[in-house]
Amino acid sequence: MKDLAGLSFDILTLRESYKSGAARPVEVIWEAYKRIAAMANNPVWIHLVPEEQALGAAQELGPPANSPLFGIPFAVKDNLDVAGLTTTAGCPAFSHVAIETAPVVQRLLAAGAILIGKTNLDQFATGLVGTRSPYGACTNVFDERYIAGGSSSGSAVAVSAGLVSFALGTDTAGSGRVPAAFANIIGLKPTRGALSSRGVVPACRSLDCVSIFSLTADDAETVFAISMNYDNRDPYSRRFRDPAQIPAQFRIGIPGSQILDLVENEYRAMFAQAAARFASLGHSLIQVDVQPFLSTAELLYNGPWVAERFASVGKFIKEHPQDVHPVVRDIILGGEKFSASAVFEGQYRLEELRKQTDAVWDIVDVLLLPTTPDIYRLAQVEQEPVSLNSRLGTFTNFTNLLDLAAIAVPAGFRANGLPFGITILGSAYSDLGLLALSRSYLSSLRPPLGATKVS
C-alpha cells in the first residue's frame, strides 16, 4: 500500500487523487484505519466496521462517474441506524441491532461513500460536553485536557483528526455546532426537516436535525446536496426550498457589548476580528437585539421541551435507572413533571419570542454569534456538569425552536492553541446562503483543516 500519511481527506483532494491515480479507494481506507489505530486512546468509536469489510466495500465500488462520493470515508453518530449494526445512543443497555438503515445514511452509501464506523456521543444525545458516555469521554483533538464538546463528540473528532472525510451527527440544542467549534471544522445544522430524521433515536423529535461535520464548506455542501431528500415516511420531513437569490453582500446582525460580556475575553476579541473580516469583504454589520434569541434558548431545558425527551426514552430510563448516566437520567426524568397546560404555556411563550426575533430578520439576512462563550477542561466539567454544559448552549439552544438554519465555522486559535469558532444563522431554507457566506469567509481566512495542519 502507498504511504498516504500526508494526504488530506477533504472530498476535493480525494476526488483529485483518485482522478490522477495518486491514490485508490482501497489505499485511502487502509490509511484511515492506520490513523484510527494511532488514536486508539481517544474513545472516538463505539463501533468500527471491520477493516476487511470496509476494504471490501472499496474494492466493490462502481464507476466513479456514477458515484459522487466515490471512495469517500465517513462516520455516523451512534444514534443513527445502520442495518446490521448495533445502535446504542451511548447506552449499552438500550442497544439494538438495526433492521433498516436511516435514509440519510443510505443516500450517502448509494453515492459511493464508505462507512468506517459509528461514533461516540453524550448518552441519548443529551449534552454539549461530550463527557456523558459510558464508552469514555472523547478528548479535544488539540489538547486532551479539554472537552471535545457534544453531544456529537466522536463525529467531530473523527473529522478534525483526518480519520474520515465527513461525519453525520445530530443537533437538537447545538450538538452539531459546539463540537465543530472545539475541533476547528465546519458544523452544518440544516433547516429542520431538510434531512430525514427517520432512523434516528429521538431526543426531541419535533426539533431533531441530522447535522454534517466536514473539513470545508464545499464538502458540507456536497454532503448536504446528496443527503437532502423529502421522506414521506418521516412526519417531520419538509421539501427544501431553494432561495430566490443569495445576496452578494449580506446584512449581518451582530450582538451588542452587553451580550458579548457573556463571552470569555479572548473569545470576545476574536469574535470582533471575525466580524471585522466580514466587513472587509463588503458585508454590512448591523447591531441587533439578540436577547429574544437568548430568552428562547432558556426554554429548551428550563421549559416543557424536556418533556419531549422524556416521551422519547423516559420509559426505558425509569425501567433501567442504573444503566443511565446520572446527569442524563436526572435531566430526562425531570421532563415528567411538566403538565399538559405547561406544554401549551411554553408554546405560547415561544410564539411571543418568535415575534420579537422577527423584528431582527426584517433588517438582517443572517446573524453572527460566537458558537460558544468559552471552552472547559474535563476536570471543570466533572466538577460542574450541569452549569457549564448549560453555558455552552447560550448561543445554540434557540436555533431549532425558532426554525433557523446554522453553520459553525472556524475563526482562528487562542494563544493556548485551542480553536475558536463562530456561527452564522439564517431563517429556514437559508442553508445555501450560509454555505456561500462561510466559503467566502474561509477563503479569506485560510485556516488549517481541522487538526490536520493542512490549509
Q: Whole-angstrom Cα distance, residue 172 to residue 166?
A: 19
Closest by alpha carbon to 305, among 360, 350, 256, 274?
A: 350
Is residue 132 within 8 Å of 90, Cβ to Cβ? yes
Phi, psi (rounded to 5 degrees) for 177: -120, -45
**Quick one: angle between helices 265-280 and 431-445, nearest 10?**
100
Residue 209's DSSP bridge partners are 171
Q: What distances in angstroms separate CA 304 from CA 57, 171, 350, 400, one per listed residue?
A: 45, 18, 11, 15
Residues with active-site annotation: 77, 151, 175
Cell of 454: 493542512
Neighbouring CB atoms inside 10 A of 370's CB total: 25
Residue 163 neighbours by CB under 8 Å, 6+ apart: 9, 32, 35, 36, 39, 44, 73, 75, 116, 157
Q: What distances in angstroms separate CA 425 from CA 189, 251, 405, one per listed residue?
A: 9, 12, 6
Please list the alpha-helical segments (H only) found in 21-171: 25-38, 51-59, 103-110, 153-160
Is residue 192 within 8 Å of 401, Cβ to Cβ? no
Which residue bears the cell 483543516?
449
Please list the alpha-helical segments (H only) found in 187-304: 217-227, 257-260, 265-280, 291-302
Q: Whole-angstrom Cα distance, residue 391 to residue 6?
A: 37
Q: What distances in angstroms separate CA 252 from CA 364, 405, 425, one per listed residue?
A: 6, 15, 10
Is residue 413 within 8 Å of 148, Cβ to Cβ? no
